[in-house]
Amino acid sequence: MRYSIKILGEYVGGNWTEQDLKQWLGMLGLNPVFTRENEETFIEIETPANRGDLFSAIGILRTLAPFSDIEIKYPEKDIIETSDRFLPVEIECFDDCFFYAGRIIESVKVEDSPSWLKEKLISAGFRSVNNVVDITNIVFWEFGQPLHAFDLDLLKEKIIVRRALDGEFIVTLDGVKRELSPQVLVISDSEKPVAVAGVMGGLNSEVTEKTTNLFIESAFFNPVRVRRSSKFLGLVTDASARFEKRVDPSLIIPALDRCCRLINEICGGKISKIITCGKNPDWNKSIDIEKKKIVQYLGCEIPDDFIIKVLTKLGCRVEQMSEYYRVIVPEGRSDLERDVDIIEEIAKYWGYDRIPEQMPLATIAFTPSSQEYLMLDKLRDIFVKLGFTEAVNLGFYGEIERNLFGGQVVEIINPLSRNYAYLRNSLIPGLLQNFRDNFNRKIDCLSLFEVGNIYCQKDHGFFEKPVACAGVVNKWDFYSFKGMIESLLVKIGYHNSVQKVSRSDTGDFVEFLQEGKPVAKIYLPGIRILKAYDLEQQNVFLSEINLEKFLMNGFPLTVYKPVSKYLPVKRDLALIVPDSINWKDVERTLFENIQGLENIEIFDIYRGKGIPEGCTGIAISVVLANKDGVLKKEDIDATVQKIVSILKESFSILLRQ
């Protein structure tokens, strides 16, 4: 809402300065913005969602009252009733509208507003339409009660406040034809809807320069109902924004009278008696606030007389008892529901800055952390140590990712755009996208990782699980990358994984299994995927690691193993290995059968001249150790011989001559 300080000043007795207003509104957290236009100063404030009362000049003035001794001058609203015209009003359901009031004004002259009204209206941020509509708007601005003027002669027989029927239509004042539903509350005559209640009037009853007789409406519409109508129609207006924050029922008749008085003054005409249907519920909301609770909440004492003065100036009736205050809050402050709301009011006017700071006394036990967060954070350390840089992606898929990688994905029913229509089920596409983006910036050698959730849908529930993903372009060769991933898997407790190799139309996979379940994979994207990410001809390796088992079991315990006192022995072997052999099987078999075998290190891999087709030359070092003493040469030779014969008999691996 926008207020001209000058015009606001017309409603107060006494003086304030711009500086006062700045300070007061600031203290209340309304973030006032002051602007100057044509030598007038305007204030614009942020209105919290629960403060419908601040949508009006009177509301603002009431809220400023505790700061000063100014007096609010309420606008004049006395009228003389000289018309006998009547229009019946019915309300179908009092839940939707408990009170509806109106007056007829006969023989008015609808024309352009006088210039003083136009100026006032424009400074309040409205557009001038004609004198009648402008008056309803300026009274709305004054009281915060939205009003609507109908052309009486276009209304058939009566007014009914009812739900719309399926298949009913209305053309609203903005010229749009809108389909209605029973969700929507309408004002109707005996034949047709003539307005969407609390949202916007209908074109079929619009006040124009041809209008001579008016019906002015002032009512209470259920906030939830107006909100639903407005959401259903996708139509938010000043009126709907106000109604959905609950209007002040005690202002319905004053606003109506004020409006009729102004119309009579400016447009002439004769005003009828008031026409009403339903009634305002009795208002007597009283809240008890224990004095000790104020201290318990704020951590400081606030003097009784200050509390009483603030609440009284806000329009509350305050009774002071020895242990508590009994406060009857004004009807317009529907945000004041319970004691803590009143405590906030007191604190606001006292000033948050005046409340002293006090560290909590150390009577509270320290709260331990959930391990999950800290473990994921430690995992990041390992990746960074290995030379990966941390990426963070949004976590959405578009059609492109979904088509490229398939699999079940969770769909967002109201996505921001088609590029963000699904939740990711893998971190791999995100890193590929990052590679592409960096590639386009001429960075063709990099390594990234990400730790985050992937999402899936099972039965009727949605699930998320944490995974880690690492990838590299052109920076390391396959074996270096694989070595990093293997060492990381050991660090997070995925020892001795079984490795399974497979190929699909998206590329090649090395899957790591624990107890038969996949825990990680290394992925070499196929040509189709590389093309899609502009990464053809580049060396791209990725790995995705499922972290559920790790988060359940934790990091493996570090237990010191005594270091052998005797030097280990290394023997190098040059092998010819058929490509059909899974090297992991070879390692496992050797470790199971060779006593004292400490390690097998691959130090060279060679294909080509001198190596038969379908085979690879692999040079290994076997490390042998004995914890009981120095190994004898005969024992070493015998062990190496045994290794060679296992390799030959079980795997057809021969020594290279």
Q: Are 42 and 123 in contact (CB under 8 A)?
A: yes
Candidate residues 288, 372, 598, 635; the one interacting with another protein per rule CB under 8 A: 372
Near another protein in 527-566, by CB under 8 A? none
Say which amino acid occupies 260. C
Residue owning tokens 């795997």: 651
Near another protein in 324-353, by CB under 8 A? 338, 340-341, 343-344, 347-348, 352-353
Please tell me what DSSP assigns to residue 214.
Answer: E
For residues 646 and 657, what is the distance between their CA atoms, to the nearest angstrom? 18
Residues 6+ apart with CB under 8 A from 125: 1, 2
Q: Binding of another protein at residue 182 (CB under 8 A)? A: no
Least distance in Å: CB of 411 to another protein?
7
Q: Which is nearer to another protein, 124 or 431 (CB)?
A: 431
Q: Binding of another protein at residue 50 (CB under 8 A)? A: yes
Near another protein in 618-657, by CB under 8 A? none
Binding segment for another protein (CB under 8 A), chosen from 326-334, 415-423, 601-609, 633-641, is 415-423
Q: Binding of another protein at residue 315 (CB under 8 A)? A: no
Please tell me what DSSP assigns to residue 554.
Answer: -
Residue owning tokens 């719309």: 164
Least distance in Å: CB of 562 to another protein?
33
Q: Binding of another protein at residue 358 (CB under 8 A)? A: yes
Q: Binding of another protein at residue 392 (CB under 8 A)? A: yes
For residues 411 and 408, what is the distance between their CA atoms, to the nearest angstrom? 9
Candidate residues 412, 501, 630, 638; the one interacting with another protein per rule CB under 8 A: 412
Residue owning tokens 């119309």: 263
Among 591, 587, 594, 588, smallest CA distance to 638 is for 594
Sheet strands (E) in 474-529: 498-504, 507-514, 517-525
Site track for another protein across 268-307, x = CB under 8 A: ---------------------------xxxxxx-------
Least distance in Å: CB of 387 to another protein?
4
Please tell me what DSSP assigns to residue 649.
Answer: H
Q: Binding of another protein at residue 455 (CB under 8 A)? A: yes
447 by DSSP, 3-state: which?
strand
Candidate residues 278, 330, 387, 398; the one interacting with another protein per rule CB under 8 A: 387
Q: Which is nearer to another protein, 120 or 227 (CB)?
A: 227
Least distance in Å: CB of 368 to another protein?
5
Q: Binding of another protein at residue 375 (CB under 8 A)? A: no
Candidate residues 373, 562, 592, 649; the one interacting with another protein per rule CB under 8 A: 373
Q: Binding of another protein at residue 443 (CB under 8 A)? A: yes
How would DSSP label each residue in 163-208? EPPTT-EEEBTTS-EEE--TTSEEEE-SSSEEEETTTEEBGGG---
Binding segment for another protein (CB under 8 A), chosen from 34-42, 390-398, 400-408, 558-566, is 390-398
Long-range pairs of 181-187 with CB within 8 A, sequence gap ≥ 24: 181/232, 183/228, 183/229, 183/232, 184/228, 184/229, 184/232, 184/233, 185/96, 185/97, 185/161, 185/221, 185/222, 185/225, 185/226, 185/229, 186/161, 186/162, 187/148, 187/159, 187/160, 187/161, 187/217
Candidate residues 5, 12, 27, 274; the one interacting with another protein per rule CB under 8 A: 27
Binding segment for another protein (CB under 8 A), chosen from 120-128, 459-467, 525-533, 585-593, is 459-467
Q: Binding of another protein at residue 63 (CB under 8 A)? A: no
Q: Which is nearer to another protein, 115 or 358 (CB)?
A: 358
Q: Which is nearer to another protein, 47 or 616 (CB)?
A: 47
Q: Are 574 and 619 in contact (CB under 8 A)?
A: yes
Q: Binding of another protein at residue 434 (CB under 8 A)? A: yes
Candidate residues 97, 253, 259, 386; the one interacting with another protein per rule CB under 8 A: 386
Q: Binding of another protein at residue 37 (CB under 8 A)? A: no
Residue count, binding to another protein (CB under 8 A): 88
For residues 491 and 511, what is the distance between their CA atoms, to the nearest angstrom? 18
Site track for another protein across 460-499, x = CB under 8 A: --xxx----------x------------------------
On the CB side of 610, CA atoms within 13 Å amount to 9
User: What is the chain's Cα-based Rg?
Assistant: 39
Q: Binding of another protein at residue 48 (CB under 8 A)? A: yes
